[in-house]
Amino acid sequence: MAFNEEEDFQMAWINSHPIIDKDSEQKSTKHLTRTKRTNSKKIKKSLQDNPFGEPEQEIDLHGCEGLEAVEKVDSLIHAMIPAGYKLLRIIHGGGNLKYGNVKRFVDQHIKTKLKHLVAYYAIERNNPGSSLLKIKTNIENDSLFKKHS
């Protein structure tokens, strides 16, 4: 097949300028970089955020109103004690006025009504939307627990 002068020029240009797929290069580089970052963050987070190890139970209170959240947390804590679980992550979020401040309701309940059951309660480091709660050991023999259960 014969080309005219313009087509010969275009073919010469195409042959001298190889086509490089930049998208595939970027995808392979991003994948490697992303994997390295994710692994290092996971290791750092697990070592720094939680001084007691991974929580055995977790409750997400997003979408709950204040008193509803308190009831859920209370019933879960009372169910954890006979099962032998000691560490709970409470995901309460940062505080949305539409639902009432769930964290404030839960904090108040834990610090007043459940203080005899709780050994540790604080916001997780690097995550203000969740708190860690550690239940005291030897609660099952406690007479206060028997009154509330």
Q: Is residue 136 part of a domain?
A: yes
User: Rounded to whole angstroms, how far apart are CA atoms 123 and 148?
Assistant: 26
Residues 6 or more apart in contact with residue 73 via CB below 8 angstroms: 59, 61, 90, 106, 109, 110
Higher pLDDT pick, 88 / 146: 88
Sorted by sequence, the CB contacts under 8 Å of residue 128 that are 6+ apart come out as: 94
pLDDT higher than 70, residue 29: no
Pick from 10-19, 30-39, 43-52, 83-92 the range whose average pLDDT is largest: 83-92
**123-144: b (≥16 Cβ within 10 Å) or e:** ebeeeeebbbbbbeeebeeeee
Give the C-alpha separation, 147 to 108, whole Å.
20
In a domain, 10, yes or no: no
Both 86 and 135 in one domain: the answer is yes
Same domain, 62 and 46: no
Same domain, 137 and 72: yes
CA distances from 105 to 40, 67, 74, 99 (A): 35, 7, 12, 11
Q: Kindly state whether residues 42 and 65 are assigned to the same domain.
A: no
Closest CA to 132 of 55, 43, 69: 55
144: containing domain: 57-148
**Cα dihedral sign for 76, 128, 116, 87?**
positive
Whether 9 is covered by a domain: the verdict is no
Q: Mean pLDDT, the chain, as a whole number?
A: 77
For residues 46 and 86, membership in a common domain is answered with no
Residue 44 lies in a domain: yes
pLDDT, one tens digit per residue, over 80-124 is: 999 999 999 999 887 555 555 888 899 999 999 999 999 999 988
